[in-house]
Amino acid sequence: MFNKLTAMPADPILGLLTKYREDNHTQKVDLGVGVYKDESGHTPILTCVKKAEKYRLDTESTKVYIGPTGSADFNRLMSELAFGAENQAILANRVRTVSTPGGTGALRVAADFIKRCNPNSVLWVSDPTWANHTGLFEAAGITVKTYPYYDYDTKSLKFAEMKSALSEIGSDDVVLLHACCHNPSGMDLNQQQWDEIIELTAEQGFTPLIDMAYQGFGDGVDEDAYGVRKMAATVDNMILCSSCSKNFGLYRERIGACSIIGKDAAASDVAFSVLLYVVRCIYSMPPAHGAAIVETILGSNELKQEWLDELTVMRDRINGNRAMLVNKLKEIGVTRNFDFITEQKGMFSFLGITPKQVAQLQSDYSVYMVDSSRISIAGIGTGNVDYLAKSIAKVL
């Protein structure tokens, strides 16, 4: 049977990481992998996480299954974090949440759920979107198409084209939106644009699927959830996939959540039964450790405040890195306008250079980024920004 297989292409990000690790250049720069790094290039464990883990080790008394839904407290706290405790959808008992193996697991659960809702649904994603979105949904047998989003020439949002495209989408389809910190462009909807998209969603009747992988990395925990919360309070049906990898630094613990909202409590119960069947058929029971950490932090006023403080440090560092790179490019005499980098949010931006220039940065200067020139902002630091800016200047 295996003899019929043909090799799949290697993941470009993982391939970059391998090349970076094997590079002996003393000033090499990794702008490929999308994980948070501190000034030293390390991805630390948050102090609040360490405290929550110690509490769990001291109090855990069993390793028995926690059930397909995961912890009820985790699900409640994650729902409140995403939607807001006083959201109309929560007050009307319309929200149902399960814990999942990471944000990717949440997306796969959503994909299989959508397939059971309507096998002929088309799922629309932004152009561009996270590279794994398309593969995840196509693996579930869903047709994936794109709507206009990012203008590579003007480094801005194609909002008029986006609205025009979404106005043609019918009620049988699903539209995937990024809650904040758009991956890979860093270009987000502002609140007025969110208002217009939410109004359009209600008019057209398609189902919004919002991917929220970076809550707290843009403007703040509440600010980044603006679109999620207003959408939940406005539309009849909605799906939310969220991740604790970035904002809690729990990458390898693989913990996320998938939430669905029905028209009313009864409809939500029916949809939830289908969601649980999907979970049972994919991985049966979710992992417990990461969820217990998050639950402990969000359930403690002291630990939650410590988490918010640590999240602010990470967010401020990323925003500071954006400004630092742009200012350094100006300082060394680069005349091309890179101000768009400071106007974007989250972990990523497109540098806006050609694949040939990207290849030259890698071969001549050991600066690593994907061919599209998407850079991970967290890879910039005071120790490498001079070298990075000068290297970019040399290939322009």
Q: Which residues are catalytic?
A: 130, 211, 246
52 Cβ neighbours under 8 A, 6+ residues apart = 292, 293, 294, 296, 297, 303
How far is it, in rounded angstroms, from Cα 171 to Cα 204? 6
- CA triple 151-171-262, angle to 5 deg: 105
How far is it, in rounded angstroms, from Cα 237 to Cα 37? 37
Q: Are 188 and 344 in contact (CB under 8 A)?
A: yes
Residue 10 CB neighbours (<10 A): 10
How far is it, in rounded angstroms, from Cα 185 to Cα 46? 27
The number of CA neighbours under 13 Å toward the Cβ of 32 is 23
How far is it, in rounded angstroms, from Cα 2 to Cα 104? 27
The CA distances from residue 281 to 30, 112, 276, 278, 327, in Å, are 38, 10, 9, 5, 51
Residue 69 CB neighbours (<10 A): 18
18 Cβ neighbours under 8 A, 6+ residues apart = none
